Amino acid sequence: MFKKTKTSFKIGGSVGIIILLLGVTVMFGMYQTSKVSNEIIKISEEYVPLYEIVSEIKFQKSIQKLSLEKIIRFSETSSDIELEKTKKEFWITGRNIDSFIERSKNIVDVGMDLTNSEITKKEFEILAQKLSNIDRTHNQYEKLVTDLFYELDNFLLLEQIQTTENQIEIEIESTLSSLSGLTEESTNLIEDNERNSLYGQIVIIIIVGAIASTLGFFISQINSDLKKEVDLKTFELKTANEKLKELDKRKDEFIGIASHELKSPIQPILGFAELARAGDIDQKEAWDGVLELANKLQDLANVVLDVSKIESNRLELQIEKIPINDLILEIIKSLKINLKKPVIIKENLDENIIVEVDWIRIGQVFRNLINNAIKFTPKGTITIETHVYSDENKIQFRISDTGLGISKDVLPRIFEKFVTKGLKHEERSGTGLGLFLCKGIIEAHGGKISAQNNFDGGATFEFTIPILNKEQIQRPPELSTK
Amino acid sequence: MNVLVAEDNLFTIQQYKHILEKKGCKVTIAHDGEVCIQKFDDAFMKLDPTSLESGPFDVVLIDNNMPKKNGVEVAREILKRSPKQRIIFASAYNIDSILNASEEVMRDVEILQKPFSLNTMIAKIQTRK
């Protein structure tokens, strides 16, 4: 069962939280990729000056080489001043080279500190190794050159210097080439990284989109379910409301008619009192009239009370074991005494079995149905029959007459309240509640009652009740809401 | 006075008859709405053509709640025949609801709300509107 507002609120809340989480994920991803690529860019920025410095070393090295060649040449021409000058140049260039080597080493150290990746660290270590090789070979070279300056014609030394020089050149070249390789590699890495981060973002966006559309689908599904539920509930409420209104209307009608009926004996009671006091009528006549009216009023009040009990399912039965035929015969006997019409009451009774009923209530039903039959039979026969169905735990009663029958308009509603009131031959003596009470009592016993017209005239009322009242408690009668 | 009384309660109608006759009225009795119209028509047929409009009775006393035809219907039919027939409506029902239900009829009738004293009824009948 859905609680509309709460559910919507929950859905909204969870969607919000999911979107928030996705946003945080995206932000985190972007931060991470930017952090990584920044690092790579910084490192790659280290390679560029390193390359320049090593190129500078290469350049200075070639100057130094030229200086040495000059020195050798000048020594042959014995130009001492030029020789000393060039020697000075040679050493200055040498110090420059030392300084550049130092700077490049520093850059490599900084690079090594910057990087978090093992591979890059290793690359920097290799570079440092190469630079210290250059440094070492350069120092070796200068030492050899210092020795050479003492004996400039030592060819062996010259050859050694030549070899060292070549070695330095090779080392410088190798450093440069690996540096250019690294620069390219880091550029590729940046590009890769950017591509990867783009792919990552695309994937995240697609996932977010997919989740959002799935959620959207489910929410729309839930919404349509909710709508259906609400529509259904609205319809049910509307129906229930209409039913309640109808019941309320009926109740008002009942109260209106009942209060009128209860008030109507007041007028003749007042009349009797007034006339008796004035001596216009005999005292006995007045008292008899008042007594009759009071009794009628009491009966009516009881009927109204019973109706309200039936309507609120509060009709209580006092279930007792009684021989059913004894009850029926006693009722018939009492009715026959007051019979003032050419009507014969016949009985055709089955076995006198013991039934579990509220005999006062069932007696009320019999009196009501037989009195009705008498009322609507100006002349003729009334037959009371019983049929025992022990196998089915039920007993059937039929009260049929040869009277006027029931009109077609009334028959379908005959057990409703006041339907029979004011009918043509009713003569106003009834309350219009008798058959409603009969139905309520029979249903409270767990039985059924029905009415029909006979083919050859007159009407038949038929009801069945259980022989053994299994429940021993009241079964609430169904309220007719037709 | 010539009075037509329509009332379904047997005790009440006897009491009306008793007191009205004591006051020297000629009383015609009807036990339901249909009989009331029948009795009215019987008297109406015997009327002098000059007094058709004011009706055959001095007063028609009608109970609203009667079998076969209710008081409002009876009053309507009587007024159709004799628009100036004096009618007194006696009812235990809420008068207002009757008034609302059939204003055009109720304009031309007098009201006596039940329960009333028989002397009140006599006083009402003997006094013209």
Does residue A295 share a domain with residue A194? no
Q: Per the CB < 8 Å rule, is B93 touching A260?
A: yes
At A416 the pLDDT is 86
Residue pair B67/A427 in contact (Cβ under 8 Å)? The answer is yes
Does residue A214 share a domain with residue A329? no
At B97 the pLDDT is 61
**Closest to A331 in 3D by CA, of A370, A301, A299:** A370
Residue pair B109/B87 in contact (Cβ under 8 Å)? The answer is yes
Residue pair A36/A193 in contact (Cβ under 8 Å)? The answer is yes
d(CA A74, CA A86): 9
At A481 the pLDDT is 43
Q: Per the CB < 8 Å rule, is A272 touching B11?
A: yes
Closest CA of chain A from B111, distance in Å = 15
A463 DSSP β-pair partners: A397, A449
Closest CA of chain A from B9, distance in Å = 8
Q: Which two tokens stand for residue A227?
A: 């709508």
At A464 the pLDDT is 95
Does residue A101 share a domain with residue A114? yes
Closest CA of chain B from A291, distance in Å = 12
A35 in a structural domain: yes
A244 in a structural domain: no
At B96 the pLDDT is 62
| A271, A274, A422 ranked by CB distance to B11: nearest | A271
Does residue A423 share a domain with residue A281? no
d(CA A224, CA A194): 44
Q: Per the CB < 8 Å rule, is B15 touching A272?
A: yes
Which residue of chain B comes nearest to A264, CA vs CA?
Answer: B92
Strands (DSSP E) found in A279-353: 320-323, 343-348
B8 neighbourhood in chain A, CB within 8 Å: 428
A424 neighbourhood in chain B, CB within 8 Å: 67-68
B92 neighbourhood in chain A, CB within 8 Å: 260, 263-264, 266-267
At A36 the pLDDT is 65
A391 in a structural domain: yes
A243 in a structural domain: no
The residue whose two tokens read 């003032």 is A340
A480 in a structural domain: no
- For A26, the domain range is 4-224
Q: How confident is the model at residue B36 (pLDDT cuts 50, 70, 90)?
A: very high
Strands (DSSP E) found in A206-332: 320-323
d(CA A58, CA A138): 11
In tens digits, what is the pLDDT along chain A, a chain of 482 residues? 444 556 667 677 777 877 787 777 778 777 766 766 676 777 777 778 888 888 888 898 888 888 888 888 887 776 778 888 888 888 898 888 889 889 888 888 887 887 777 877 888 888 888 889 889 998 998 888 888 888 877 888 888 888 988 998 898 898 888 888 877 877 787 778 778 777 877 887 788 788 878 888 888 888 888 999 999 999 999 999 999 998 888 888 888 778 777 888 888 999 999 999 988 888 898 999 999 889 888 888 888 888 888 888 888 888 999 999 999 999 999 998 888 889 999 999 999 999 999 999 999 999 999 999 998 999 999 999 999 999 999 999 999 999 989 988 889 889 988 777 655 544 546 678 889 999 999 999 999 999 999 998 899 999 999 998 766 544 444 444 43
Tell me the CATH number for domain B2-126: 3.40.50.2300
Does residue A382 share a domain with residue A300? no
Task: Provide CB contacts within 8 A for A299, sequence distance 6+.
Answer: none
Closest CA of chain A from B56, distance in Å = 27
- pTM beyond 0.90: the answer is no
Please name the helix (run of DSSP H) or strand (run of DSSP E) that holds residue A34, with its range, or none.
helix A4-77
Q: Per the CB < 8 Å rule, is B116 touching A263?
A: no
Does residue A104 share a domain with residue A167? yes
d(CA A185, CA A179): 10
B16 neighbourhood in chain A, CB within 8 Å: 271
Q: Per the CB < 8 Å rule, is B115 touching A267?
A: yes
Residues of B with CB under 8 A from a CB of A: 8-9, 11-12, 15-16, 18-19, 22, 32, 65, 67-68, 92-93, 114-119
d(CA B95, CA A40): 102
| B11, B68, B92 ranked by CB distance to A293: nearest | B11
Question: Residue A432: helix, strand or coil by DSSP?
Answer: coil
User: Exposed, middle or buried: residue B8 (CB in 10 Å: 0-12, 13-18, 19+)?
Assistant: buried
Which of the two residues, B57 and A424, has the higher pLDDT score? Answer: B57
A57 in a structural domain: yes
Q: How many domains does chain A have?
A: 3
B32 neighbourhood in chain A, CB within 8 Å: 428
d(CA B33, CA A159): 155
Q: What's the whole-number mean pLDDT along residues B46-52? A: 77
A38 in a structural domain: yes
At A85 the pLDDT is 84
Convert B59-75 to b/e letters by CB count within 10 Å (16 or more is b).
bbbbbbbbbbbbbbbbb
Q: What's the whole-number mean pLDDT along residues B37-59? A: 83
B113 neighbourhood in chain A, CB within 8 Å: none
Amino acid identity of residue A141, one-letter, is Y
Neighbouring C-beta atoms of residue A414, cutoff 10 Å: 19
Amino acid identity of residue B53, one-letter, is E
At A202 the pLDDT is 82
| B68, B93, B115 ranked by CB distance to A266: nearest | B115
Closest CA of chain A from B94, distance in Å = 9
Question: What are the DSSP calls for A102-129, one per residue?
Answer: HHHHHHHHHHHHH---HHHHHHHHHHHH
Which sequence spans correspond to the domains of chain B? 2-126
Residue pair A193/A34 in contact (Cβ under 8 Å)? The answer is no
d(CA A413, CA A438): 14
A291 neighbourhood in chain B, CB within 8 Å: none
Q: What is the CATH number of the domain that holds A448?
A: 3.30.565.10
Question: Residue B112: helix, strand or coil by DSSP?
Answer: strand
| A270, A275, A428 ranked by CB distance to B67: nearest | A428
Q: Per the CB < 8 Å rule, is B15 touching A426?
A: no
Does residue A84 share a domain with residue A164? yes
A266 neighbourhood in chain B, CB within 8 Å: 92, 114-115
B91 neighbourhood in chain A, CB within 8 Å: none
Question: Residue B120: helix, strand or coil by DSSP?
Answer: helix
